[in-house]
Amino acid sequence: MRCIVGKNVFRAIALFIPYIAIGIGLFLFKSGWLAIGLYHAGMIFFLVLDRSRPPFRLVLKGWNKTWAWLILFCALSGVAIQFLWPWMQQQVNLDVLLPKYGLSDASWIRYVFYYSLFHPALEEYYWRGYLGHYSKRIRIEDVAFAGYHFFTMLCFVQWPWALLTFLILTGMAWLWRQSARQTEGLLIPTLAHMAAAVSISLAVSFLLRSA
Listing DSSP states for the chain in one string gives -HHHHHHHHHHHHHTTHHHHHHIIIIIIS--HHHHHHHHHHHHHHHHHH-TTPPPGGGGG----GGGTHHHHHHTTHHHHHHHHHHHHB-SS-HHHHHHHTT--THHHHHHHHIIIIIHHHHHHIIIIIIS----SS--HHHHHHHHHHHHHHTTTB-HHHHHHHHHHHHHHHHHHHHHHHHHTSSHHHHHHHHHHHHHHHHHHHHHHHH-
Q: How far is CA 167 from CA 83, 111, 153, 193, in A?
A: 19, 26, 13, 16
- Per-residue confidence at 2, pLDDT binned at 50, 70, 90? very low
Q: Which range marks the domain in which residue 147 is found?
A: 58-210
**pLDDT at residue 10, rounded to an integer:** 82
Mean pLDDT, range 36-58, rounded to an integer: 95
Task: Round to whole Å and give the CA distance between 46 and 117.
Answer: 21
The rounded percent of the chain whose pLDDT value lies above 90 is 88
pLDDT in tens, 148-164: 999 999 999 999 999 99
Task: Round to whole Å and give the CA distance between 96 and 55.
Answer: 42
**pLDDT at residue 211, rounded to an integer:** 66
Our count of domains for the chain comes to 1
**pLDDT at residue 152, rounded to an integer:** 97
The phi and psi torsions of 64 (rounded to 5 degrees) equal -150, 120
Does pLDDT of 20 surpass 50?
A: yes
Q: Is residue 158 part of a domain?
A: yes
Determine if the pTM surpasses 0.85: yes
- Per-residue confidence at 4, pLDDT binned at 50, 70, 90? very low
**pLDDT at residue 47, rounded to an integer:** 95
Q: Is residue 130 part of a domain?
A: yes
Mean pLDDT, range 21-28, rounded to an integer: 97
**pLDDT at residue 209, rounded to an integer:** 86
**pLDDT at residue 3, rounded to an integer:** 46
Q: Is residue 89 part of a domain?
A: yes
Q: Is residue 144 part of a domain?
A: yes
Q: Is residue 1 part of a domain?
A: no
pLDDT in tens, 80-137: 999 999 999 998 889 999 999 999 888 999 999 999 999 999 999 999 999 999 999 9
**pLDDT at residue 52, rounded to an integer:** 86
The phi and psi torsions of 82 (rounded to 5 degrees) equal -60, -45
Mean pLDDT, range 20-49, rounded to an integer: 97
The phi and psi torsions of 74 (rounded to 5 degrees) equal -70, -30
Q: Is residue 2 part of a domain?
A: no
The phi and psi torsions of 79 (rounded to 5 degrees) equal -65, -45
